[in-house]
């Protein structure tokens, strides 16, 4: 990763505050540019330009709900154009496709190249890609570069008009300074799930698989499942645990910091996540927690979903099952709980592969190279 500053970068993103947006904070901290960042949820009265941009995004959201999609792109675009004029960047990076459609016209008006970073739901959920399909088609004509999390996501955006040579596949990556040191063969029979309690993460399917695992296991002491996160399905998950008398075996840990997650990963046998395509079409990109688990040295039990098979090699660094197959996931849990040396072997292989391909440094290098390439191409045409 180059240490010297590579030029001026302007970033537009929905938020930097959410616990789930660690990748945005990582980009801001690690990209070697002079960065200005603007966030759609910030409206501080003492900072008029930030307040103006946040208010414009709020108006854009309202117009989108009213299905006035072309009009919805104007308020934020006008403000973004002003921000670009006041301190011109070499290139603009928009985090998430739905944020990019709000500022894409500003880039066209100002002649500054645009790179858009798709993450997951923005390229899959029907309330995103279905509603904004025509806006996305225009976005993909205007964008000089597109970053996606998986091959499947790249193919979906190609269907909407993205040119393959402009697409960079780059999972967000994990931080090796934090995620290391797991020893599955020495850990008690503990399983760990990390992620929001939302449909695409499949927390209820993970619980059903774990219930079957408990019914079939002869491991002593009885296994436990630790679940980190919160979200709209948490209450239902808690009801499931009470209904099936799993209170002694399932621990809801709430929201944890990255440091706390890393420490929990050093205490368990395996990582589990039953990702699925949600009823609204929402899909994963390439889950960061899966890469963090592999980097830590944990075997991963997960589904053949979105970018997960790009990271987890079935039988090589973890065990993969089909979406919705809770019986197969229960069997995978039983296998690793009963065979700690197999868990160790898979975890070590996953760690080696993650260090070679799936660290934050790999992602920052990919993004930097694309931003520089797009910026250079724009200068050559001007």
Segments making up each domain of the chain, as ranges: 8-172+359-381, 184-357
Q: What is the pLDDT of residue 69?
A: 85
Distance CA 273, CA 203 (A): 7
- 351 close to 296: Cβ distance less than 8 angstroms: yes
Tokens 């399983």 correspond to 191
Q: What is the pLDDT of residue 144?
A: 97
Class of the domain covering 8-172+359-381: alpha beta
CB atoms within 10 A of CB 237: 18
Q: 360: closest CA among 292, 298, 301?
A: 292
Superfamily of domain 184-357: Glycogen Phosphorylase B; (3.40.50.2000)
Distance CA 38, CA 16 (A): 9
Q: What is the pLDDT along the chain (382 residues), one digit of tens a residue?
A: 445 678 999 999 998 876 556 777 878 889 999 999 999 999 999 999 999 999 999 999 999 889 898 898 899 999 999 999 999 999 999 999 999 999 999 999 999 999 999 987 676 556 566 678 889 999 999 999 999 988 888 988 999 999 999 999 999 899 999 999 999 999 999 999 999 999 999 999 999 999 999 999 988 889 999 999 999 999 999 999 999 999 999 999 999 999 999 999 999 999 999 999 988 888 888 889 999 999 999 999 999 998 999 999 999 999 999 999 999 999 999 999 999 999 999 999 999 999 999 999 999 999 999 999 999 999 988 7
| Domains 8-172+359-381 and 184-357 alike in fold | yes
Reported as half-sphere exposure (CB side, CA atoms, 13 A), residue 237 has a value of: 29
**Which 3-state string (H, E, C) describes 74-110?**
HHHHHHHHHHHHHCCCCEEEEECHHHHHHHHHHHHHH
SS3 121: helix
Q: Please give the model's pTM, rounded to 2 decimal places.
A: 0.89
């Amino acid at each position: 990763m180059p240490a010297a500053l590579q030029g001026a970068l302007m970033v537009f993103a929905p938020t930097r505050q959410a616990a789930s947006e660690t990748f945005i904070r990582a980009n801001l901290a690690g990209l070697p540019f002079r960065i200005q960042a603007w966030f759609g949820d910030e409206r501080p009265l003492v900072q008029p330009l930030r307040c103006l941009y946040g208010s414009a995004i709020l108006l854009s959201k309202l117009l989108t709900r009213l299905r006035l999609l072309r009009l919805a792109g104007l308020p934020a675009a006008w403000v973004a154009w002003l921000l670009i004029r006041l301190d011109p960047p070499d290139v603009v990076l928009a985090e998430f496709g739905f944020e990019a459609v709000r500022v894409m016209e500003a880039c066209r008006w100002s002649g500054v190249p645009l790179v858009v970073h798709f993450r997951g739901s923005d390229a899959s959920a029907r309330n995103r890609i279905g509603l904004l399909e025509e806006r996305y088609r225009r976005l993909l004509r205007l964008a000089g570069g597109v970053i996606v999390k998986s091959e499947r996501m790249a193919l979906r955006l190609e269907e909407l008009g993205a040119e393959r040579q402009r697409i960079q596949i780059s999972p967000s990556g994990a931080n090796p300074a934090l995620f290391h040191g797991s020893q599955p063969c020495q850990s008690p029979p503990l399983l760990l799930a990390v992620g929001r309690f939302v449909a695409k993460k499949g927390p209820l399917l993970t619980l059903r698989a774990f219930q079957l695992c408990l019914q079939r296991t002869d491991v002593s002491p009885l296994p436990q499942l630790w679940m980190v996160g919160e979200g709209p399905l948490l209450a239902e998950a808690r009801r499931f645990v009470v209904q099936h008398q799993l209170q002694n075996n399932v621990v809801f840990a709430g929201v944890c910091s990255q440091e706390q997650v890393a420490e929990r990963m050093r205490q368990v046998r395996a990582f589990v996540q039953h990702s699925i395509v949600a009823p609204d079409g929402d899909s994963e990109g390439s889950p960061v927690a899966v890469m963090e688990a592999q980097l830590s040295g944990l075997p991963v039990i997960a589904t053949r979903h979105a970018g997960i098979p790009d990271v987890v090699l079935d039988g090589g660094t973890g065990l993969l099952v089909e979406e919705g197959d809770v019986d197969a996931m229960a069997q995978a849990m039983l296998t690793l709980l009963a065979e700690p040396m197999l868990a160790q072997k898979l975890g070590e292989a996953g760690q080696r592969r993650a260090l070679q391909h799936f660290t934050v440094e790999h992602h920052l290098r990919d993004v930097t190279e694309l931003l520089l390439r797009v910026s250079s191409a724009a200068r050559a045409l001007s």
